[in-house]
Structure 1
Amino acid sequence: MTTAPRVDIADTRGQTTALTVTGDLDLQAVAVFHHTVADVLSEHPTVILDLTGVTFCDSSGLNTLLRLRRRAQEVGGRLVLVAPPRQMLRLLSVTGAVSVFTIHGSLAEAWEAIPASDPPPTA
């Protein structure tokens, strides 16, 4: 049974937003996931996806990540992956997609790697 993905905003700093993703990224669930992340990309060109809570990812989930990566590049940003689960990391590795994504082990590590030209918002 598919667990519909849930996407929540974890943090926003300047032009970058971090999203936490939980649930499955499969054929039945990726349309909503794609739409949600694409909407965020329209306002924040760099998106960090914390994938710690992803329970399953199939080829349609991978395809969606690749499409979102291309969309981020089109708007002058990037798509960064954080802590993909073992099954998802294996899928990325077997397909060679691991080489096109920036992947970090933790959300804190991903934030540290964001260029200084993307300053945090002032309060």
Structure 2
Amino acid sequence: MTPYPSADFALTVQAADARTLRLAIHGYLDYDTSDEFTPTVDRLLDAHAGQHGPALRHLHLDWTDLTAFDSSGLSALLGLRRRTHPAGITLHLHHQPDYFTRLLEVTGVSDHLTQHATAS
């Protein structure tokens, strides 16, 4: 496990192989920390591609230790989807807190975020 911490946000690599990358988000993904999420995930995706080539097909995000999530976090998550989906990478969301799930449902993006991607 590799942590990428800050005061209120951390990202942990739980597992990786050529086709699958599993990340855990800890703490806040909100206005104050969402600007850390995107470049951190981008670096991890780039490192994975450097090691395995363009084989990644599944990015699993574990939200068990998420303590706050707001519209800025949602924007960062949608930005991640904009990067991964055209590359043929499907997002999988696991263990979301109720408030996270509610925000995805109210905004109507839950199915959009996890729509199956096909490699181009």
**TM-score bracket relative to the smaller structure:** 0.7 to 0.9
Structure-1-length-normalised TM-score: 0.74
In the TM superposition, 1:61-80 aligns within 5 A as: 61-80=73-92
Per-residue CA deviation, residues 79-108 of structure 1 (Å, 9 max, x unaligned), is: 2211111111100000001121339xxxxx
SS of equivalent residue, structure 2 residue 72: helix
Structure 1 runs of 4+ aligned residues shifted over 6 Å read none
CA distance in 2: counterparts of 1:21 and 1:52, whole angstroms: 8
RMSD: 1.7
Please give the alpha-carbon distance, in whole angstroms, between the structure 2 residues aligned to 1:32 and 1:60: 11
- State the partner residue of 1:16: 20
Deviation at 1:69, TM superposition (A): 0.8
Task: Give TM-score scaled by structure 2 length.
Answer: 0.76
Q: What amino acid is the match of 1:9? A: V
Gaps of 5+ in 1: 104-123
Moved more, 32-41 or 61-70: 32-41
2:9 to 5, 11, 14: 5
Q: Quick one: percent identity of the two aligned structures?
A: 35
Instruction: Flag structure 2 segments of 5+ consecutive residues without an equivalent.
Output: 1-6, 50-55, 116-120
Q: How does 1:107-118 map to 2 (within 5 A)?
A: none
CA distance in 1, matches of 2:100, 2:22: 19
